[in-house]
Chain A
Amino acid sequence: MSTIDIAVVDYGMGNLRSVSKALEHVAPTKNVVVTSSPDDVAKASRVVFPGQGAMPDCIRELDARGLRAAVLDAAQNKPFLGICIGLQMLFEHSEEGNAAGLGLFKGSVKRFATEDMFDSLGEKLKVPHMGWNQVYQHRATDANQHPLWHGIEDGARFYYVHSYYVQPEDDSIVAGFTHYPNRFTCAVAKDNLFAVQFHPEKSAHAGLQLLSNFVNWAPK
C-alpha cells in the first residue's frame, strides 16, 4: 500500500471527481485518493473535505461511515481544506434542516434572505448564489497574506453555488469575504486548516492556484 498524499473525504454525497481531477492536475506526482475510510483519512498527509447537497444529509452520511472523528482529528492536525458544505459543517449549527454541525468553530450557517436583495442594476438577486463572485482576502497585506492566497489577486473571482453561508463568532478565523449583496465570510483559516465556500476545483486559474498552494502548504 502506497502512502496517501491527499485524501479526498467521500461520504457518498455527490460527485468528488471534479475535486480529485483538479488536485491531480496541480499535483501530478502526488497520490490523490478519494476515500470513505477513516483509516485512509488518518493516514493521509493532507485532507480535502468537500461537500454538496444539504448539510443535514452530509452530517448523517459522514456519521454513517464513521468518519466524524477522523475528519475532526485531521482538521486540527494536518493540512486540511474544506470546500462548500465542507466549510459549513465545521460550524456548530445550520439553519438548513435545523441541523447540528461538527462544532469545530463557534457560529452558525444562515440562508440568504430572499427578500430585499438587489444588484446594482436594481434586479432581484437570485438564490442559490450561483456563478463567479469576487473574493476579498481578509486583512491582506504583503507581510501577512495567508499562504493559500499566494499568487491570487485580492478580489479575484471564484465560482460559487450555495444558498447558505457561514457566520463565525470569532472574527479572527475570517480569511476572506464576498458580497451578495451583503458581506459574508467565504473563507476561514486557523493553524493547519483552511476552508472555503466557493469551488476552487471549478474556478479556472484562480482555483487551481489555490489548490496548488494547498498542496504545497507547510503550516507552522
Chain B
Amino acid sequence: MGLAKRIIPCLDVTNGRVVKGVNFLELRDAGDPVEIARRYDEQGADELTFLDITASSDNRGLILHIIEEVASQVFIPLTVGGGVREVEDVRRLLNAGADKVSINTTAVLNPKMVQDAAAKFGSQCIVVAIDAKKVDNQLFEWEVFTHGGRKATGLDAVKWAEYMVSLGAGELLVTSMDRDGTKIGFNNPLNKAISNAVEVPIIASGGVGNLQHLVDGVKEGGADAVLAASIFHYGEYTVRQAKEYMAQHGIEVRL
C-alpha cells in the first residue's frame, strides 16, 4: 500500500550495441538495445538505465538514436549515463527521450554543471552517479572515484552525496567499486550511510549475484531502487522472478 521499490536493469552500450551479452530465450539479436529494452519492459522492469561506454567520441551520437528508438516503444522511465560532460549533452539526451541523465566524472570535475543542469531541466531528471571505494583512512570510510574507478578524488562519499543533493541532484546512483562484478552483494553499509544522509532516493548498484542480494539492498542498505546487470543479462533470473522473490520477503514491488 505504498511506493514500490524499483528494479532497474542496466544495459552497457558501445557503438550502438549492447555489450556484456544479454541472453534471452527467443531473442533474435541479443545485442539490439531496442529488443532488449522491450524484453525487460515485458518482464516488468520499473525503469531502464543505459550506460554509454563508447570510448571514441565519433560514435557517441549513436546513443541518441538508440534512446529515440527505445522511447518510442517502451513507456517506462529511461536513464542514460556515460560521457555526459556539458549541459548541452543533458539537453540532447532529454530531447532524444531520456527521462533522467546520470552524471558521474563531470560532477567531480565541474560540480557547477550539476547545478546548472538541475536549474535548467529540473532536479527530477538529474541523477548523480557516485562510484565509491572503501579506504583505510582516519577521516572517512568510503572515497569517491572517477574515470570508471581508476582515479581517487580524496572526497568522502557521504559528504559528496550531501553536496550533490544540495546542488540539485534528484537521485543518486551509488556503485560500490569494491563490489562491482563480484556477485557477493551490494555494499549495504555504504548505501545505508548515504541513504540516511540525503532526502532524495538512492539506487544501489554493484555486486548483485542473487535475488537475496536485492532484498538485502533494500532492507539493510535502505535503497529505494536496485540496479543489476549480469543476473538479468545472462538469463539467470527474469525481472519478474526478482520481483516475486522480493515480494515474498515483504518488500513492496510492482507486479
Contact = CB atoms under 8 A, between A and B. Distances in A.
Nearest to A21: B72
A17 B97 contact: yes
B2 interface: yes
B121 A130 contact: no
A124 B196 contact: yes
Given A18-B97, A114-B199, A204-B41, A131 B75 contact: no
Nearest to A22: B75
Interface residues of A, number: 41
A219 interface: no
A148 interface: no
B72 A131 contact: no
Nearest to A156: B254
* Main secondary structure on A side of the interface with B: mixed
Interface stretch (A38-46, A102-110, A115-123, A187-195): A115-123
A128 B75 contact: no
Contacts of A17: 71, 95-97
Interface of B is mostly: loop
A131 B1 contact: no
A123 B247 CA distance: 17
A125 interface: yes
B225 interface: yes
A132 interface: yes
B171 interface: yes
A52 interface: yes
Interface string B187-210: 000000001100111000000000
Nearest to A112: B199
A24 B75 CA distance: 12
B76 A128 contact: no
Nearest to A13: B122
A202 B122 CA distance: 17
Contact of B2 (A14, A134, A208): A134
Contact of B75 (A14, A161, A180, A204): A204
B71 A53 contact: no
Contacts of A157: 4, 254
Interface string B42-82: 00001000000000000000000000000111011100000
A216 interface: no
Given A14-B122, A25-B72, A114-B199, A129 B95 contact: no
Interface in A156-214: 157, 159-162, 179-181, 201-204, 207-208
Nearest to A20: B72
B47 to A, nearest CB: 8
A54 interface: yes
A14 B94 CA distance: 8
Contacts of A121: 218-219, 250-251
30 contacts: A15-B94, A15-B99, A15-B121, A17-B96, A21-B71, A22-B75, A24-B72, A53-B121, A53-B122, A54-B122, A119-B3, A120-B1, A121-B251, A123-B222, A124-B195, A128-B201, A129-B3, A131-B6, A132-B3, A157-B4, A157-B254, A159-B46, A160-B3, A161-B77, A179-B1, A201-B75, A202-B75, A202-B76, A203-B76, A208-B75
Interface of A: 14-15, 17-18, 21-22, 24-25, 52-54, 114, 119-121, 123-134, 157, 159-162, 179-181, 201-204, 207-208
Interface of B: 1-6, 41, 46, 71-73, 75-77, 94-97, 99, 121-125, 170-171, 195-196, 199-201, 218-219, 222, 224-225, 250-252, 254
Give the top 3 A-B pairs by smallest Cβ distance, nearest first. Answer: A53-B122, A132-B254, A15-B94
